[in-house]
Structure 1
Amino acid sequence: MRTMKHARGISALLLTAMFAGSVSAQSFVYPAKGQSPEQQKKDEGQCHTWAVQQSKYDPANPPPVAAAPPPPTTATGTTPGAGVRGAARGAIVGEIVADDAGAGAAAGAAAARGQSRRQHAAQAHQQEQAATQQQHAGAAAYQQARAACLEGRGYTVK
């Protein structure tokens, strides 16, 4: 009977460790004051709840990544009017440099569309990085709160 209880306690600890490990880096909790596996399970559950309240982050249910609305684009992925503005600039330069406004307009339109696509890709990448940093910050705050709670209850957390 004692072996069965011990096995359930270890199973609960392993599940808790797996749960905590999914947040970011795995933390290990040692019952420094000789707490029983049942008491440790209870304390870890209560500390999880407290850490979620303190950090506003639940690793079991992380907030969805809020994507900013994409900027208005054409079918080719450029800002509306980018090609027209580029064509106008290119026509002026083409006329001045080579007496060929048409070739300048075509080159300007292509360059402006390419630049517009690169800007949209860079903005999307920056938004993705910001969302990832926000997720990591929430997970770190949760881990810090959880560790503080467990250490306050006599556990060593590493």
Structure 2
Amino acid sequence: MLRTTLALMLATLSLGVMAQDYIIYPAAGQDAEQQKQDKMECQAWATENTGVDPVQLASQPAPASQQTGGERARGALGGAAAGAAIGAIAGDAGDGAAIGAGVGVLRGGAKQRHAAAANQQAQANAQAEKDSQMAMYGRAFKACMEGRQYTLQ
């Protein structure tokens, strides 16, 4: 559930950045057709000079996340087995298994939290990289349009 919510939130943020568009004013009296042509040429120029294609960037999948879930159960089983073995040596395999299972659940939970945090960090890093690339593309596009005597906001 947390992964799905995080992925949806990142996708929404990503689309917001991709959909951001400038308000363009033809400061030298360019007509609509000239503005359309200049915009297409500046988009191509920005892609060529930055290596960033906004369409391709938007379609990149999020980084694959590590599977989480089941760590507590696996920890409980492993801990119970180890606890039973130690308990058998000490004379009470049942108590040893119970203690081992409890410790295993705790270790499994810690592993699960660690994996979830790593997934969130990977998602955040990927989004930050996309944002950085789009900002660079936006600066290049703006420079091109301003060089053709448009005002951009």
- Residue aligning to 1:35: 30
**Does 2:74 align with 1:78?**
no
**Does 2:128 align with 1:133?**
yes
With structure 1 as the length reference, what TM-score do the two structures score? 0.66
**Does 2:60 align with 1:64?**
yes
Structure 1 counterpart of 2:121, which letter?
A: Q
Structure 2 counterpart of 1:136, which letter?
A: D
Q: Which has the higher helix share?
A: 2
The runs of 5 or more residues in structure 2 that have no matched partner are 1-15
Give the match's secondary structure for 1:65. coil
Query: Once the two structures are aligned, what percentage of the paired residues are identical?
Result: 34
The alpha carbon displacement at 1:68 in A equals 4.5
The alpha carbon displacement at 1:70 in A equals 3.0
The alpha carbon displacement at 1:51 in A equals 0.8
With structure 2 as the length reference, what TM-score do the two structures score? 0.68
Give the match's secondary structure for 1:60. helix
Distance in 1 (alpha carbons) for counterparts of 2:106 and 2:17: 45
The alpha carbon displacement at 1:57 in A equals 1.9
Structure 2 counterpart of 1:139, which letter?
A: M
Structure 2 counterpart of 1:109, which letter?
A: G
Q: 1:68 to 1:60 in 2, by over 3 A?
A: closer
- Residue aligning to 1:124: 119
Structure 1 counterpart of 2:113, which letter?
A: R
Q: Is the 8 A contact 2:82 2:97 kept in 1?
A: no
Distance in 1 (alpha carbons) for counterparts of 2:126 and 2:107: 29
Please, what is the CA RMSD of the aligned residues? 3.0
The alpha carbon displacement at 1:142 in A equals 1.3
Q: 1:85 to 1:103 in 2, by over 3 A?
A: closer
Q: Is the 8 A contact 1:86 1:111 kept in 2?
A: no
Aligned residues: 127
Q: 1:116 to 1:131 in 2, by over 3 A?
A: same
